[in-house]
Amino acid sequence: MSLKSPLLSLPGAVPAEGRDEGVAAHYGDLFREQRTLADGTGFVDLSHHGVVTVTGDDRLSWLHLLLTQHVSDLPPGQATDALILSANGHIEHALYLVDDGETVWAHVEPGTREALVAYLESMKFFYRVEVADRTDDFAVVHLPAGSIAAVPEGVVVRETAHGRDLFLPRADLTDFAAAHGPAAGILAYEALRVEAHRPRLGFETDHRTIPHEIGLIGSAVHLQKGCYRGQETVARVHNLGRPPRRLVFLHLDGSEVHLPAHGDPIRLAADGPEGRQLGFVTTSARHHELGPIALALVKRNVPVDAELVAGTTAAAQETIVEP
């Protein structure tokens, strides 16, 4: 069950739906909120994300055995992304983590924390580690890149090129919003994510997605580390083949009233509405400068210069993952 953010009581807040239920979709002005974030001001309420911690002397060496990322020597304060794969190399979990010198803090997609904690608990064996679901106590807040907002003392920060993720005590959310506004909704955050070509678990992935398809080799998958579940698939595809699908960025026809939805089919424009499905829309958004845009997962052999149709909307593609 999703957690309902107290910031839904802010003026103009419109609740998000679907996977982002529990926080605001927007606060009344989507494009203003996007421009605010692009300018490095304001914040985004991501308190519907799960927060999981790992403590203990073996926390980094233990996680190194389970994750796709090299974390055995992760310096305190250095952010990184990591995945947990199935035995066949399919993406099961995405973790956005940082170690503060005593504890590994990770935030994860809504609805995934329970399964993640259960898996981690099952893999503890004799290692000196403790896994905890801290979602009831801590909320994730995002400060955009360029923000000069002061971080409250004692708050763990995960700093990346896209901004800072704060693990804020949940009880402090309302006071933080009053001091660090204006708030921007999840739709503004998502529009900038799509512009930056950043995939999201559950949106750009399905039950058979492998990291190569969505451009996560290097950023979330380290190719020179020891064994982990699913590594054989990662190495085989990287060294001997190509992934069956690839992530693309779409510029959508701006004359359409409605955006294509997640899962809408991708077809060649030349084949018309009855043409063979070549992929599906993963995320669509209205961008304050680019207009309607989307990410989509298509078959690897779709020509990179092909004109496409996303649902019923004409789309021109840009390459993210090379065929």
Strands of 29-137, DSSP E: 43-45, 50-55, 80-85, 91-99, 103-108, 130-133
Last residue within a domain, chosen from 92, 108, 133? 133
% of residues, the chain, pLDDT over 70 = 99
Neighbours of 9 (CB within 10 A): 11
What does the pLDDT read at residue 257? 84
The residues that bridge with 316 in the sheet, in sequence order, are: 251, 307
Could you write out the DSSP letters of every residue in 12-35? T-EE--GGGTTSEEESS-HHHHHH
Q: Which domain holds residue 100?
A: 50-133
Query: In the structure, what pLDDT confidence band is assigned to residue 255 with cuts at 50, 70 and 90?
Result: confident
Residue 108 pLDDT greater than 60, yes or no: yes
Per-residue CA distances from 287 to 34, 37, 101, 274 (Å):
8, 12, 39, 29
Residue 35 resides in a domain = yes
Residue 200 pLDDT greater than 80, yes or no: yes
Residue 223 resides in a domain = no
86 and 114 housed in the same domain: yes
* Domains in the chain, number: 3
Query: In the structure, what pLDDT confidence band is assigned to residue 3 with cuts at 50, 70 and 90?
Result: confident
Q: Angle CA(254)–CA(291)–CA(323) in degrees, nearest 5?
A: 90
Q: Which of 177, 182, 155, 180 is nearest to 166 (CA)?
A: 155
Residue 4 pLDDT greater than 60, yes or no: yes
Q: Which of 45, 149, 63 is nearest to 106 (CA)?
A: 63
pLDDT of 53-70, one tens digit each? Answer: 999 999 999 999 999 999
Residue 222 resides in a domain = no
Last residue within a domain, chosen from 106, 133, 160? 133
Task: Look up residue 149 and give its two tokens.
Answer: 């907002």
Q: Say which residues have a Cβ less than 8 Å from residue 198's Cβ, sequence separation at least 6.
A: 162
Residue 173 pLDDT greater than 80, yes or no: yes
153 and 39 housed in the same domain: yes
Neighbours of 33 (CB within 10 A): 26
What does the pLDDT read at residue 40? 97
Per the CB < 8 A criterion, the answer to whether 60 and 133 are in contact is no
Q: 292: alpha, beta or left, given left = phi > 0 and alpha = psi -120 to 50?
A: beta
Residue 1 pLDDT greater than 60, yes or no: no
Last residue within a domain, chosen from 82, 107, 133? 133
Helix (H) / strand (E) element for 180: namely helix 173-180
**For 79-103, what is the mean pLDDT?**
98
Residue 208 resides in a domain = no
**CATH code (residue 262):** 2.40.30.110
Per the CB < 8 A criterion, the answer to whether 282 and 294 are in contact is yes
56 and 152 housed in the same domain: no
**CATH code (residue 102):** 3.30.70.1400
Residue 272 pLDDT greater than 90, yes or no: no
What does the pLDDT read at residue 72? 96
What does the pLDDT read at residue 2? 63
Per-residue CA distances from 245 to 183, 235, 238, 316 (Å):
36, 17, 14, 17
Helix (H) / strand (E) element for 187: namely helix 186-195
What does the pLDDT read at residue 28? 96
CA distance 215 to 211: 6
Residue 26 pLDDT greater than 80, yes or no: yes
The residues that bridge with 98 in the sheet, in sequence order, are: 105
Give CA 106 to chain center in angstroms.
Answer: 12
Could you write out the DSSP letters of every residue in 236-260? HHHHH---SEEEEEEEEPTT-SSPP
Residue 80 resides in a domain = yes
**For 180-208, what is the mean pLDDT?**
97
What does the pLDDT read at residue 306? 95
72 and 122 housed in the same domain: yes
